[in-house]
Amino acid sequence: MRDIRKEFPGVRALDGVTLDVREGVVHALMGENGAGKSTLMKVLSGVHPAGTYGGEILLAGEPCSFGGVVDSERAGIAIIHQELALVPQLSITENVLLGHEVSRFGVVDWGATHTRARELLRRVGLDENPATPVSALGIGAQQLVEIAKALAKRVRLLILDEPTSALNETESQRLLDLLGELREQGVTCILISHKLGEVVSVSDEITILRDGRAIETLTVERDTDGTPSVDEDRIIRGMVGRSLDRRHPEPIGEIGPVRFEVIDWTVDHPTQPGRRVVDGVDLHVRAGEIVGLAGLMGAGRTEFAMSLFGRSYGRHVRGLLLKDGTPLAVPDVTAAVRGGLAYVPEDRKTLGLLLDDDIRHNTTLAGLRHVSRYGVVDQERETVEARRMSERMRVRSHGTAQTVRTLSGGNQQKVVLGKWMFTRPELLILDEPTRGIDVGAKYEIHLLIRRLAAEGTAVLLISSELPEVLGMCDRIHTMCEGRLTGEVPAAEADQETLMKLMTRTGDRP
Ligand SMILES: Nc1ncnc2c1ncn2[C@@H]1O[C@H](COP(=O)(O)OP(=O)(O)OP(=O)(O)O)[C@@H](O)[C@H]1O
Ligand SMILES: [Mg+2]
């Protein structure tokens, strides 16, 4: 890609980027939220068609200009977007092979099509019946379906925009191994990721973008025992312009009395009667305390959090929630918010934001009472408050009137966080709060969480990233198959202990 320039109203997203990717390598693209990574890849794959950007694209030496994704696919380029784009009502097979069904005499041969889908699922390591509707899959499994879908087309260049952000350690590793295999087969991969560890372990080349410009490209050499010539600190310096000597901020403030307590919380699956998804969970969170909930995908952490948050999930939600020792009824979300609960969901696109509304309205949406007088929203005050929150969260935008859909992924995440912080919650439940957030901004968000705790907020932190759980929490619960399987003070915990407790399936201790 030569001297690529791309502007949106009010923003220059790409300011003359030149990117060279050698054939048959894994090339990582890194940079802060809003640096222009996704935009550059949308240019390359025809999502932003020829004519809407400046500069030139050469594929194997040949200039090419794509009028749309169909053109780039024909040239062997496939892109997997940061925000998944599956059709939820359709089955895995239909999603994977949409437009590529196996047919005989013009009629789709469903048997053969399912078989083909099953092969592709095996390749990405997803153990699911191909007839399952995609809506029944978790976000991690959906990511694997996306990859299977790309493999169904004949790809020469596979672009993955933050493919592992929703995956747990095991699944991420499987995906990275898959990239290695694809490289052996001569497929070139461009990988966008904020996870330094995986970038260092899998890439051959790393390009760092900052403010719409390519800052540098590092070549990763590996010596005989596989040690890479580029380490995480080197990348951080390239991205942030300085080293980060600490990855997690120190605890500040005191831990107070028990603020929220949950007793024997049990939840059934919404559609499968009798199937328990959350089973007898007992836990408490003190004022100023950050309690971690660690578990593998499907452990029931999100289901627990959502059922607590005004029964947003599940059937027959039973158990007791106490606030300062008194039972708190949370029959619906309104009651939960009024009771001081806030839940920042993991799936921001469908649950967290009004994508077509602006930053201002999204920020104040759940806390309108803080900007209203006599039941009427004071718009001036709303703008001031939204601007303040936006600055506090360091949202990169061209003002609070910007539509949330047009923000970069990480900045959308910051808006969701800001929205719930704006409700001034007493119990803040965070579900994968820094997914897709760059290292610098992650530190800032961690600092914000610490400050909220220091002000007396009780925090429940759900995260699949064990270093985050270990670095941020005072106490950690592990969850497996709907039950709590262990409780460890963070000071005594390490990744190995947590992993063991997270995979323990026996009876409760
Ligand atoms: N459709 C659009 N309309 C207006 N502005 C846009 C649009 N798409 C992207 N931008 C802006 O372009 C800039 C680059 O965004 P981009 O999504 O490429 O960032 P990114 O590097 O992928 O960030 P992240 O790590 O958060 O995903 C941002 O300032 C973003 O707000
Ligand atoms: Mg992006």
Which atom of ligand 1 approaches the CA of 82 most closely? 27
Cβ atoms of residues 264 and 316 within 8 Å: no
Mutate to test the pocket of ligand 1, among 7, 38, 393, 415 (most ligand atoms within 8 A of CB): 38
Place of tokens 């009771």: 339
Ligand 1 pocket check for 195: Cβ under 6 Å: no
Structure tokens at 421: 């912080």
Highest mean pLDDT among 340-354, 405-419, 470-484: 470-484
pLDDT for the residue numbered 49: 96
Split at pLDDT 50, 70, 90, the class of 478 is very high
Structure tokens at 355: 């994508």
- Reported residue count of the chain is 509
Mean pLDDT to the nearest integer, 485-504: 88
CA distance 365 to 385: 12
CA of 176 to the centre of ligand 1 (A): 25
Mean pLDDT to the nearest integer, 253-269: 94
**How much is the mean pLDDT over the chain?**
89
CB atoms under 10 Å from CB of 320, counted, come to 12
CA of 219 to the centre of ligand 2 (A): 22
Split at pLDDT 50, 70, 90, the class of 243 is low
Ligand 1 pocket check for 207: Cβ under 6 Å: no
Cβ atoms of residues 123 and 178 within 8 Å: yes
Name the pairing type of β-strands 205-210 and 213-219.
antiparallel
CA distance 307 to 305: 6
Cβ atoms of residues 196 and 237 within 8 Å: no
Mean pLDDT to the nearest integer, 257-269: 96
Cβ atoms of residues 22 and 220 within 8 Å: no
pLDDT for the residue numbered 18: 97
Ligand 1 pocket check for 165: Cβ under 6 Å: no
Split at pLDDT 50, 70, 90, the class of 482 is very high
* Residue 508 in this model has a pLDDT that exceeds 60: no
Structure tokens at 418: 């800001």
Ligand 1 pocket check for 39: Cβ under 6 Å: yes
Return the beta strands (E) in 301-390 as ranges.
315-323, 326-327, 341-344, 372-373, 376-377
Structure tokens at 375: 């039941």
Mean pLDDT to the nearest integer, 393-404: 90
The tens digit of pLDDT for each residue in 134-192 reads 988 876 788 788 888 888 888 899 999 998 887 777 778 888 888 998 899 889 999 99
User: Taking Cα atoms as reference points, which of 69, 3, 66, 57 lies closest to residue 214?
Assistant: 3
Split at pLDDT 50, 70, 90, the class of 245 is low
Split at pLDDT 50, 70, 90, the class of 506 is very low
Place of tokens 């709590």: 484
CB atoms under 10 Å from CB of 215, counted, come to 15
Please report how the helices 379-392 and 409-421 are oriented relative to each other, as an axis angle in degrees rounded to 10: 120
User: Atom 28 in ligand 1: which residue has the minimum CA distance?
Assistant: 34
The tens digit of pLDDT for each residue in 364-377 reads 988 888 888 888 98
Half-sphere exposure of 474 (CA within 13 A, CB side): 21
Residue 160 is inside which H or E element, if any?
strand 157-161
SS3 at position 57: coil
Ligand 1 pocket check for 31: Cβ under 6 Å: yes
CA of 163 to the centre of ligand 2 (A): 11
Distances (CA, A) of 194 to 232, 239, 413, 436, 442: 11, 11, 14, 6, 10
What are 27's strand-pairing partners?
A: 190, 205
475 in the Ramachandran plot: left (φ > 0), alpha (ψ -120 to 50) or beta? Answer: beta
Ligand 1 pocket check for 34: Cβ under 6 Å: yes
User: Atom 3 in ligand 1: which residue has the minimum CA distance?
Assistant: 406
Which atom of ligand 1 approaches the CA of 410 most closely? 26
Ligand 1 pocket check for 159: Cβ under 6 Å: no
CA distance 186 to 440: 34
CA distance 363 to 417: 9
Ligand 1 pocket check for 302: Cβ under 6 Å: no
User: Atom 2 in ligand 1: which residue has the minimum CA distance?
Assistant: 406
CA of 356 to the centre of ligand 2 (A): 18
Cβ atoms of residues 229 and 221 within 8 Å: yes
Ligand 1 pocket check for 14: Cβ under 6 Å: no
Contacts of 108 (CB under 8 A, 6+ apart): 101, 102
User: Atom 7 in ligand 1: which residue has the minimum CA distance?
Assistant: 406
User: Taking Cα atoms as reference points, which of 160, 241, 155, 170 lies closest to residue 199?
Assistant: 160
From the CA of 42, which ligand is nearest? 1
pLDDT for the residue numbered 505: 55
Structure tokens at 237: 């310096």
Ligand 1 pocket check for 434: Cβ under 6 Å: no
Place of tokens 């600490």: 246
Structure tokens at 8: 């949106």
Q: Please give the single-letter amino acid code of residue 313.
A: Y
Q: Supply φ then ψ for residue 69, to 5 degrees.
A: -65, -35
Ligand 1 pocket check for 406: Cβ under 6 Å: yes
User: Atom 29 in ligand 1: which residue has the minimum CA distance?
Assistant: 34
Tell me which of 2 and 223 has the higher pLDDT.
2
Q: Give percent of the chain above pLDDT 70.
A: 97
* Residue 89 in this model has a pLDDT that exceeds 60: yes
* Residue 102 in this model has a pLDDT that exceeds 80: no
CA of 461 to the centre of ligand 1 (A): 27
Tell me which of 14 and 423 has the higher pLDDT.
14
The tens digit of pLDDT for each residue in 321-364 reads 999 999 999 999 999 999 999 999 877 766 778 889 999 999 99
In terms of DSSP H, where are the helices of 276-342? Answer: 301-308, 333-338
pLDDT for the residue numbered 507: 45
Q: Supply φ then ψ for residue 144, to 5 degrees.
A: -65, -35
pLDDT for the residue numbered 509: 44
pLDDT for the residue numbered 298: 79
CA distance 434 to 418: 13
Ligand 1 pocket check for 92: Cβ under 6 Å: no
Return the beta strands (E) in 275-330 as ranges.
276-286, 290-295, 315-323, 326-327
Split at pLDDT 50, 70, 90, the class of 454 is very high
Which atom of ligand 1 approaches the CA of 36 most closely? 18
Structure tokens at 274: 């009798």
Lowest mean pLDDT among 51-55, 132-136, 366-370, 469-473: 366-370
Ligand 1 pocket check for 410: Cβ under 6 Å: yes
Question: What domains does the chain contain, in order, with CATH numbers?
Answer: 2-240 (3.40.50.300), 257-340+425-509 (3.40.50.300)
